[in-house]
Amino acid sequence: MLSTVLTRAALPLLAAGLLLGGCAKPSAPPAAGPLPAAPEAGAPHAGPPAGSPAAPHAGPPAADRVGPARLPGLGPRTSELIPDATDQAFLVSGRSTNSSESTATLYERDEDRRWRAVAGPWPARNALKGWTDEHWAGDHRSPIGVFGLTDAGGRLPDPGTKLPYHQSEEFVAVGTGFRGETLRGSFDYVVAINYNRESGLTPLDERRPMGWDRGGGVWIHVDHDGPTQGCVSLGLDRMADLLRLLDPDKRPVAVMGDSASLAR
C-alpha cells in the first residue's frame, strides 16, 4: 500500500498518516455519526455487496475459453465465499504468505457458469510483509478474502470504466516507498477494494465500519516498483485495462491472498 492520500493542505500530516493501514489514509477519524446501510462492507472473507463492476475487453485465445467451475487455485472454502450472483472475479494470488509479489488474472463466468480468463495473468505486488486473514492498521500485510469492487477514481481522467469514477487532484501519493522509489503517480488510477469501507462512495471516503484499528484505504492502484502497505498494484496500462473491463452488472469481486491460503 502506499504512503497516503493527501490534499495539499494536509501534506504535513504525512508521517502520522503512515501509521494507518491503507492507501488512503486521512489525518484523523471522521466524527462519529450514523453510517449508510451497507451489507457487511469489508469484513474479512466476507462476500461483497450486490452491484459490483466489470467491462468489455478482447478475450483470450480460443483454447482458454473453456474454464473450470471453480477458479484455478481456489479450494472449497475460498470458492464458497464468491457470491452466486458474481460473474467477474479479479484473482490475485501471492507467491507465499510473506511475499510481496503476486499474479493477477481477471476471470468471467460464461453462459455455462464456468470461469474463463479474460485478461492476464499480470505481474502484481501486494504488501511488504505479505498477507493476513486478520488485517490491522500498520501491519504492512494485505487482507486475504473476497471483497466487492464497486468504486473507482484517480488523478487522471476516466479511461472508460463502467464503475462510478471520481477524478480528483486529491488522489496524490507523496514521498518514497519501502525501496526508496518515488510514489508519484501511484494513484493515477485506483479501484477501491471493499475491505472496511462503505460501498457506493468515492475511494477517498474516510469511513471505516470495522473501526480505524482494522485499517482501510485498501486499493488496486498503479505500481510504484516496490511493495505496498496493504494494497495491490499493477502497471499503469494494466490498471487502465482493468478499469475498462470491470462491469457493475457482473458484480465483480477481488479474490486475494497467498496461494496456500486461497487453496483452502
Examine residue 55 and state whether it is found in any structural domain, yes or no.
Answer: yes
pLDDT at residue 18 greater than cutoff 50: no
Examine residue 194 and state whether it is found in any structural domain, yes or no.
Answer: yes
Examine residue 167 and state whether it is found in any structural domain, yes or no.
Answer: yes
Which pLDDT score, from 0 to 100, does residue 99 have? Answer: 98
Examine residue 202 and state whether it is found in any structural domain, yes or no.
Answer: yes
Examine residue 124 and state whether it is found in any structural domain, yes or no.
Answer: yes
Domain range for 150: 8-27+41-59+73-262
Tell me the pLDDT tens digit for each residue of 27-79.
Answer: 444 443 333 333 343 444 343 333 333 333 334 443 344 457 899 999 999 99
Q: Give this prediction's pTM.
A: 0.79
Number of domains in the chain: 1
Per residue, the 3-state secondary structure of the chain, as one string, reads: CCCCCCCHHHHHHHHHHCCCCCCCCCCCCCCCCCCCCCCCCCCCCCCCCCCCCECCCCCCCHHHCCCCCCCCCCCHHHHCCCCCCCCEEEEEEECCCCCCEEEEEEEEECCCCCEEEEEEEEEEECECCCEECCCCCCCCCEECEEEECCEEEECCCCCCCCCCEEECCCCCCCCECCCCCECCCCCCCEEECCCCCCCCCCCCCCCCCCCHHHCCCCEEEECCCCCECCCEEECHHHHHHHHHHECHHHCCEEEEEEHHHHCC
Examine residue 1 and state whether it is found in any structural domain, yes or no.
Answer: no
Which pLDDT score, from 0 to 100, does residue 67 have? Answer: 57
Tell me the pLDDT of the chain averaged across its residues.
Answer: 83
Percent of the chain with pLDDT over 90: 73
Examine residue 67 and state whether it is found in any structural domain, yes or no.
Answer: no
**Average pLDDT over every residue of 152-181:** 97
Examine residue 34 and state whether it is found in any structural domain, yes or no.
Answer: no
